Amino acid sequence: MLRDVTAVRYVTPLRSGGSVPGVFEADDLGTYVVKFTGSAQGRKALVAEVVVGELARALGLRFPELVLVHFDPAIADHEPHQEVRDLHTASAGVNLGMDYLPGARDFTPEVAGTFPVDPLEAGRIVWLDALTVNVDRTVHSSNLMVWPTLGVAPPRLWLIDHGAALVFHHRWDSSAPDKAYDFRQHALGHHGPDVRAADAELAPRVTEELLREVLAEVPDAWLADEPGFATPDGARRAYVDYLHARVRASAAWLPTDFPTREELAAEEAQRAARTQQGRPQWLKRVPDLHGKPAAEQDWSVHLG
């Protein structure tokens, strides 16, 4: 079961994501990135974090330890921003903490160009994302970290942030377990992911027993209000049944077609051109931040 800790010191908020998690020190002397039950994404995001993270760990992928964090908003009452204080107030009680990786670097396209990734490891990560329908590990936002960086050991890839996975639990009645998803933009698509070998290795290990063990880690309170299920155990059963059915249907969703960097760049250019053509004249001077990184925009045009 996930360990219980109590947050004792507020370090800082993290504003890189929409959920605004915070860094806290706990009574076990650990430092954790805490994701809150009161965030806009709600408890489903925390359920996804636990299910995908613990499944990743069970399959031998590197993922920081998760803990249940007992949180009293009073320890963060010096936070100067009202919206963050409101989030803290709405999240009193048990939240989810992820072990903080000091010195870790984001797996950005620049880092990816110099960091060797084993094709089988890439395949395992892509396979897990396809199984759990994780739509948030792209070339634009990898949710991968390279750690450690201090020479203690060779840097390794670590998985983080799975709150956007398990998209089927937002619409239980319309998600088929064999549904394919577009993984052309996957962060590891350029590293020759051997997803067929990963499927042969990992699919037999994702048993009903393993899935039941993983779902047992999710607190009852995070499943108690799941629409359509009378009890938390009923909701757990639905997750187990869906994921087990999806494993058995892997031939239907296994992603194998990954475009080259050049093909992706061409697609991005075409998309940006279509976006620009569809804009009113007065908007055509506004930078397309999705089509091109902000750092590469010619801001002098827009700032006079």
pLDDT of residue 267 exceeding 80, the answer is no
* pLDDT, position 270: 80
pLDDT of residue 299 exceeding 60, the answer is no
The residue-averaged pLDDT of 71-81 equals 96
∠ CA 268-271-276, nearest 5°, is 125
* pLDDT, position 283: 56
Q: Are the beta carbons of 91 and 36 closer than 8 angstroms?
A: yes
Q: Which CA distances in Å does 22 have to 26, 78, 105, 138?
A: 12, 13, 18, 23
pLDDT tens for each residue of 179-204: 998 888 899 998 999 999 999 999 99
The residue-averaged pLDDT of 111-132 equals 94
Distance separating alpha carbons of residues 161 and 98, to the nearest angstrom: 9
pLDDT of residue 286 exceeding 70, the answer is no
Q: Are the beta carbons of 186 and 126 closer than 8 angstroms?
A: yes
* pLDDT, position 269: 79
Q: In what order do the strands lie in the sheet with 105-106?
A: 105-106, 144-147, 156-159
* pLDDT, position 281: 64
Distance separating alpha carbons of residues 257 and 192, to the nearest angstrom: 10
* pLDDT, position 296: 40
**Residue 151's pLDDT band (cuts 50, 70, 90):** low
* pLDDT, position 290: 44
**Residue 46's pLDDT band (cuts 50, 70, 90):** very high
pLDDT above 90 as % of the chain: 69
pLDDT of residue 301 exceeding 80, the answer is no
* pLDDT, position 298: 37
Q: Which residue has the higher pLDDT, 279 or 252?
A: 252
**Phi-psi map region of 299: left, alpha, beta (phi>0 left; psi -120 to 50 alpha):** alpha
Average pLDDT, the chain: 88
Distance separating alpha carbons of residues 279 and 129, to the nearest angstrom: 34
